[in-house]
Structure 1
Amino acid sequence: MSRVLVIGCGGVANVAIRKCCQADDVFTELCIASRTKSKCDALAEALKGKTKTVVTTAQVDADKVDELVELIKSYKPDLVMNIALPYQDLTIMDACLICGVNYMDTANYEPEDTDDPEWRAIYEKRCKEQGFSAYFDYSWQWAYREKFEKAGLTALLGCGFDPGVTQAYCAYAKKHEFDTIDTIDILDCNGGDHGYAFATNFNPEVNLREVSAPGSYIENGKWVEIPAMSIKREYDFDKVGQKDMYLLHHEELESLALNIPEVKRIRFFMTFGQSYLTHMKCLENVGMLSTTPINFEGHEIVPIKFLKALLPDPASLGPRTHGKTNIGCIFTGKKDGKDKTYYIYNVCDHQECYKEVESQAISYTTGVPAMCGAMMLLTGKWTEKGVHTVEEFDPDPFLDALDKYGLPRSENFAPVLVD
């Protein structure tokens, strides 16, 4: 029996909450909290009669620690699931520390205001020291390690699919398939079609900032940064087919390089169609991806936030998205003194996701791992105190839960490698 507070009620939270309610033997009580309580109320109403989980709702501004503390102290959860925006990771972690409650999220911290002088000084120092310029990194949350450990609490970072399941795949490969791993290529393919000329499959603000940033990868323990979208490869994905994919910076590279230090190279690739890239480049060229506020007819607006308001809500894409996703990891290394290759991945169908939880597969592949990660913490499968990423825990019960709750793994022991 457990009581869980979920902060957020967007596309990913919708999936995670519905999946929690499928496991009502673990998630006996659940509170959905968001800035817009009406969205929480609508979801709670939709779940009535479909679960034994007792679902309640609350209003909270996750930017304000005092509001979070008041809610957490009132509800007294065993775990806070942060499925809000990555901008709010630190305020929610602060509130969990004050209240003595375990924490988890699906994406690492990044600032909403990238022009803030205090943040900018720390960011520019990190760029020089580490060699990559993405706005998001783990350093801000890793700074909480000692605080959580001393408090006897666990903070689980980045428990979606990528990051999240991809790191569990790495831990699984290390535990069961390899003595040493030489290279890791993480491949994220979305073969879905929503019918729009341009739309993003998750929060547009976060998505477009991530994709338009310079790419980077780990080579011999060091970051190598490249211009955005400058490395392209083609790959034939199981159940999807041939797709163009591009090398991006992605957060799990940072933790994997730390936790599997023998790896010589780690890369992340994501597929994009030409229409998406053309629209994104045009928007970038005219300044619509900027996070710097501007004055327009007497009002201050942030261009990328205005763009977000114009684009389709990712949560609305479910009924019109067809096709499949394929996300996984390709490894090279050695086992028993012999060279070995291995590919572990998941294929997920957009329409099947919609039939089950009224969501497209992008939100599904993030929301299901969030629920399974919460289950690991609540059932005592993962107990390490402090601040941790997924690959630091035993992958076996987590992957077994994913198999059971909708994201089964597939394996290929002779995969085509990415050059």
Structure 2
Amino acid sequence: MAKVLIIGAGGVGNVVAHKCAMVPEVFEEITLASRTVSKCEAIAAEVKKRTGRDIATHQVDADNVPELVALINNVKPDLVINVALPYQDLPIMDACLETKVHYLDTANYEPKDEAKFEYSWQWAYQDKFKEAGITAILGCGFDPGVTGVYTSYAAKHHFDEIHYLDIVDCNAGDHGKAFATNFNPEINIREITQKGKYWEDGKWVEIDAMSIHKPIDYPNIGERESYLLYHEELESLVKNYPTIKRARFWMTFGQEYIKHLTVLQNVGMTSIEPIKFQGQDIVPLEFLKALLPEPSSLGENYVGETSIGCQIKGIKDGKEKTYYVWNNCKHQHAWDEVGGQGVAYTTGVPAMLGAKMFLEGKWDNGAGVFNVEQFNPDPFMEEIGKYGLPWEETENVEFPHEY
């Protein structure tokens, strides 16, 4: 039985709170904290209605280390689950270090003034966490997260060497809005408008944003135009699996989304550089975020499903082999179960399960900073299906995808 402190009350925080409440044998006490306590209270009311369980709520500024330390000392959790903004990873890690409390997140750190996703800042905490005797689990959402576990599982059970990895991510859902993002608009738009990047022959190859794309066939969905992006799990996977010759990440976008995004870029609304407006400094992307629908509001009318998986090619017993492992998740299922949409659900469920794995001692690598693929994938793969994200696999893959 354990206490957890969840920081962040957006769409993912809602899912994590619900899913933790549904596993009382592990999560005995749950506290949800955010800058806006009314959001926490709304989630707590929904959790009470759906599960009958009470969760505590608190206000906290996740950029403020002393505030975070005071909250952690007050709650005394066994683990902090960080589903706040990527900008806030380091302050929360600092607070965990000061209080000697274990840490888990779903997305890597990004400095607010630069659209640069990488693990270097968090990996630099390795010695500090080791000396403090605590564990940090990085990127325990779906991608990153489950995609790392899928790769680890494939490496353990299906390959002697992995040579080619394509992570393929399709959202075939329809929320009925002209333009909306499935998670924090600021983070989403920064992610896809930065330069693309993939790993090939021991180095990173940089491309213009959205410049490489092709149709990929997704299970139960069909062909969808998919764009080559940089995504953070590529960085840790090529480090932890040095036999990989090429690693890429593909994500689908509809033509309406691309059209709106292109116009917004052309008029400067996706910029993160402050501008003067009526005597005040404003960041265009932050203003745009305020105009767009809140991602957590999309769930009720969301139809369709997501499909995310890993397509892998390598060597087993001296022979070439291909393998594909994936999950499909229906948006309506997420709404019916936790009052959320599928993208938040596929991030929040793995965060809960990673916390459960750690608290039960099934993910125990000792003190330090770890990405999910460094843990034993088997117990996670055994349980993820019963918590709402069942997986399928096949060895008949049309691979590799060329362009």
Structures share fold, TM-score greater than 0.5: yes
Q: Which residue of 1 aligns with 2:259?
A: 278
Aligned partner of residue 178 in structure 1, secondary structure: coil
* C-alpha contact 1:232 1:246 (8 A) present in aligned 2: yes
Q: Which residue of 2 aligns with 1:175?
A: 156
Amino acid at match of 2:128: K
* C-alpha contact 2:17 2:47 (8 A) present in aligned 1: no
Q: Which residue of 1 aligns with 2:77?
A: 77
Q: Which residue of 2 aligns with 1:45?
A: 45
Q: Distance in 1 between matches of 2:187 and 2:164?
A: 28
Asked if 1:409 corresponds to 2:355, the answer is no
Asked if 1:392 corresponds to 2:374, the answer is yes
* C-alpha contact 1:186 1:328 (8 A) present in aligned 2: yes
Q: Distance in 1 between matches of 2:90 and 2:363?
A: 22
Amino acid at match of 1:397: P
Q: Distance in 1 between matches of 2:51 and 2:260?
A: 42
**Residue 111 of structure 1, CA deviation:** 1.1
Q: Which residue of 2 aligns with 1:155?
A: 136
Q: How does 1:292-303 map to 2 (within 5 A)?
A: 292-303=273-284
Q: Distance in 2 between matches of 1:353 and 1:315?
A: 11
**Residue 401 of structure 1, CA deviation:** 2.0
Aligned partner of residue 283 in structure 1, secondary structure: helix
Q: Distance in 2 between matches of 1:356 and 1:82?
A: 22
Aligned partner of residue 163 in structure 2, secondary structure: strand
* C-alpha contact 2:334 2:342 (8 A) present in aligned 1: yes
Q: Which residue of 2 aligns with 1:129?
A: none
* C-alpha contact 1:24 1:51 (8 A) present in aligned 2: no
Q: Distance in 1 between matches of 2:202 and 2:134?
A: 30
Gapped runs of 5+ residues in structure 1? 115-133
Q: Distance in 1 between matches of 2:52 and 2:360?
A: 18
Q: Which residue of 1 aligns with 2:233?
A: 252
Q: Which residue of 1 aligns with 2:168?
A: 187
Amino acid at match of 2:263: C
Q: Which residue of 1 aligns with 2:145?
A: 164
Q: Distance in 2 between matches of 1:182 and 1:373?
A: 27
Aligned partner of residue 300 in structure 1, secondary structure: strand
* C-alpha contact 1:80 1:102 (8 A) present in aligned 2: yes
Q: Deviations over 1:357-393 (max 9, x none)?
A: 1111000000000000111111111122200101000
Q: CA RMSD in A?
A: 1.0
Asked if 1:320 corresponds to 2:301, the answer is yes
**Residue 275 of structure 1, CA deviation:** 1.0
Q: Which residue of 1 aligns with 2:22?
A: 22
Amino acid at match of 2:226: M
Q: Distance in 2 between matches of 1:223 and 1:48?
A: 48
* C-alpha contact 1:28 1:52 (8 A) present in aligned 2: no
Q: Distance in 2 between matches of 1:248 and 1:321?
A: 25
**Residue 49 of structure 1, CA deviation:** 5.6
**Residue 51 of structure 1, CA deviation:** 3.7
Q: Distance in 2 between matches of 1:68 and 1:407?
A: 32
For normalisation by structure 1, the TM-score amounts to 0.94
* C-alpha contact 1:28 1:54 (8 A) present in aligned 2: no
Alignment counterpart, residue 117 of structure 2, candidates 136, 140, 145: 136
Amino acid at match of 1:108: N
Q: Deviations over 1:64-110 (max 9, x none)?
A: 00000000011100000000000000000000000000001000000
Q: Which residue of 1 aligns with 2:111?
A: 111
Q: Distance in 1 between matches of 2:137 and 2:277?
A: 41
Structure 1 range deviating more: 231-240 or 66-75: 231-240
Q: Distance in 2 between matches of 1:323 and 1:183?
A: 30
**Residue 136 of structure 1, CA deviation:** 1.2
Q: Which residue of 1 aligns with 2:33?
A: 33
Amino acid at match of 1:409: W
Q: Distance in 1 between matches of 2:315 and 2:207?
A: 29
Alignment counterpart, residue 207 of structure 1, candidates 175, 188, 199: 188
Structure 1 residues 27 and 53: CA distance shift in structure 2, 3 A: farther
Q: Deviations over 1:174-217 (max 9, x none)?
A: 00001111100000000001111111010000000000111110
Q: Deviations over 1:206-233 (max 9, x none)?
A: 0000001111100012100001111111
**Residue 112 of structure 1, CA deviation:** 1.3
* C-alpha contact 1:342 1:415 (8 A) present in aligned 2: yes
Q: Distance in 1 between matches of 2:270 and 2:237?
A: 29
Gapped runs of 5+ residues in structure 2? none
Q: Which residue of 1 aligns with 2:345?
A: 364
Q: Distance in 1 between matches of 2:38 and 2:211?
A: 43
Q: Distance in 1 between matches of 2:94 and 2:312?
A: 37
Structure 1 range deviating more: 59-68 or 286-295: 286-295
Aligned partner of residue 55 in structure 2, secondary structure: strand
* C-alpha contact 2:385 2:391 (8 A) present in aligned 1: yes
Aligned partner of residue 315 in structure 1, secondary structure: helix
Q: Distance in 2 between matches of 1:322 and 1:246?
A: 22
Q: Distance in 2 between matches of 1:249 and 1:12?
A: 22
**Residue 324 of structure 1, CA deviation:** 0.8
Q: How does 1:253-268 map to 2 (within 5 A)?
A: 253-268=234-249
